[in-house]
Amino acid sequence: MINTLILCCCMFLIGCAGATKKDNAADTLSQKMDAFLTGLVQNNHFSGSVLVMKDGEEILKKGYGLADRENKIPYTPETISTVGSVTKQFTGTAILKLEMMGKLTVQDELEKYFPGAPADKKKITLHQLLTHTAGLKPAIGDDYEPLTRDAFMERAMATPLNTAPGERYDYSNVGYSILAAVVELTGGMGYEQFLHKYLFEPAGMKHTGYVIPDWKGQTLATGYRGKERWGRSNEKPWAADGPYWNLKGNGGILSNTADMYRWHEALLTDKILDTASKAKLYGRHVQEGPGAETFYGYGWAIFPTRRKTWLVTHNGGNGIYFCDVLRFLDEQLVIIYQTNAAQRGLGDLAFLLARMVFNPDFVPGIKPAAAMQEFKTMAGSPQGKLLEELTAVMIKGDEEALKKFISENFSARFRDAVPLTERLPRLKRIGSRIKDASVEKLLYDGEKTDIHFKTPEGMLIFGVLVTDGKISGIMVQE
């Protein structure tokens, strides 16, 4: 599973004023986007699918590059790929659907569904699970560990909390897997079965799910890490009914850009949720960190724009696949992006396309990708010294030392992009994760270093971008 923590703020990408005209302007925009993405295929080996809809009209719907390099199968809008943590919005919607059906309320406490819950967890509410404020760990095991629901719940209940319930926002995949268990207990059927019956079928989504869709005849994108073949999602260890419980409910759903747009359209109507339930789904329930201008709803992140509108969004992936869904509901713009080869510089691709819509004069620029090389050590190099100091100060967790390091070693643009009140807790949490971790791999492309840490909770990839001797970006994938 991935919790992509892009500390470099994307707000400037969605804040440009202006709007495109229709007819000829739309055609021109489509051509500009297509030329930009085609260039990424040539220069960065980009592969994936992109859908852009404005005012209900199609601006772009196209696949780029290869979904399967070995067999030369092209990517198309129908290519199936995992949506990662975008799965959380399906889980959040399922909980609200059950509330509409009178089977639960979001203020229910865990002890109602798990009578043996320990004292520190029995009063956790479904609302707190939905908003990442339950105090749970980010993860408690590897995605492919063969855990049953009961075994997962036993471990979750035995694992100490990071914070007291309701104290703060702290992104947790564990919480959404617990919600998937609640869906099964109250819905009277398997998690995917419930989604299929009450969400996907009403939305007309025939190519979304874990194992229920008939994937025969469908192209499932093969995942790649650089030049290395990672494989397809459904080739990995799964149970008969889909992923094991470290992944179920928080990630792993397979879909394509065409079906994800059908999901958007269904949420505009009352086919799945009524107006009151959708208000909860998109509610600005909790800030994503102290002083943050962004909020978390139920499986959706809510961003303000400089045009005084709101963006409803979420992304997800596993370091191989990546999916981004941007819904500018006030401005009737939807951008859906999927790739089977996540790479530096392309994580903000959907935001770049949004900026092209809102500013017709904007020309996006992404440098050609450099191949990442594996190093035994970078000790003694300026890059290595910077990374050594950063990880040391993060592990120590001293806020004054962190402030000093940020002031001296972050680029001005990166430093000022995120408030310290939001950045410091995040860096400290990463430090606590890697404190007792071992380094499995070190990759470097001249600017970005990826450190692959093996932690007790699973693999964590800590990526640091250095430009002109200063840290200009940090990414975490787990």
Q: In 3D, which of 9, 38, 29 has the Cα closest to residue 354?
A: 29
% of the chain beyond a pLDDT of 90: 65
- How much is the mean pLDDT over the chain? 89
Q: In 3D, which of 196, 170, 175, 165 has the Cα closest to residue 92?
A: 175
Neighbours of 88 (CB within 10 A): 29
pLDDT above 70: residue 6: no
Burial-class residue 71 by CB neighbours within 10 Å (0-12, 13-18, 19+).
exposed
Secondary structure of residue 18 in the 3-state scheme: coil
Going by CATH, does the domain composed of 373-477 fall within 3.90.1150.10?
A: no
The pLDDT of residue 241: 95
The pLDDT of residue 45: 85
Report the C-alpha gap between 209 and 195 in whole angstroms. Answer: 8
Secondary structure of residue 383 in the 3-state scheme: helix
Report the C-alpha gap between 37 and 50 in whole angstroms. Answer: 9
The pLDDT of residue 95: 98
The pLDDT of residue 2: 40
Q: In 3D, which of 231, 239, 258, 397 has the Cα closest to residue 321?
A: 231
Report the C-alpha gap between 11 and 302 in whole angstroms. Answer: 12
Q: Tell which wins on pLDDT, 415 or 285.
A: 285
What average pLDDT does range 473-477 have in this prediction?
78
Helix, strand, coil percentages, rounded to 5, for the chain: 35, 20, 45
Phi, psi of 209 (to 5 degrees): 150, -165
212 half-sphere exposure, CB direction, 13 A CA radius: 17
What average pLDDT does range 32-47 have in this prediction?
92
Q: Which residues contact 48 (CB under 8 A, 6 or more apart)?
A: 63, 64, 65, 75, 81, 337, 338, 339, 340, 341
Averaging pLDDT over each range in 47-56, 416-425, 457-466, which range is the top one? Answer: 47-56
196-221 residue pLDDT tens: 999 999 999 999 999 999 998 889 99
| DSSP at 478 | -
Report the C-alpha gap between 257 and 260 in whole angstroms. Answer: 5
At residue 22 the predicted structure's pLDDT band, cuts being 50, 70 and 90, is low
What average pLDDT does range 418-436 have in this prediction?
82
CATH number belonging to the domain at 13-369, selected among 3.30.1490.20, 3.40.710.10, 3.40.50.920, 2.40.30.10: 3.40.710.10
The pLDDT of residue 23: 61
Q: Which two tokens stand for residue 243?
A: 């992923």
Domain ranges of the chain: 13-369, 373-477
pLDDT above 50: residue 18: no
Helices and strands: H and E segment counts in the chain: 15, 19
pLDDT above 70: residue 17: no
Q: What is the pTM of this model?
A: 0.79
The pLDDT of residue 1: 41
29-43, 162-176, 235-249, 447-461: the lowest-pLDDT one: 447-461
Identify any residues that bridge with 304 across adjacent strands, giving them in sequence order: 310
What average pLDDT does range 34-53 have in this prediction?
93
The pLDDT of residue 8: 35
363-414 residue pLDDT tens: 887 766 666 678 777 777 888 888 889 999 999 999 889 989 998 898 876 7
The pLDDT of residue 466: 85
The pLDDT of residue 342: 86
Q: In 3D, which of 228, 237, 273 has the Cα closest to residue 441?
A: 228
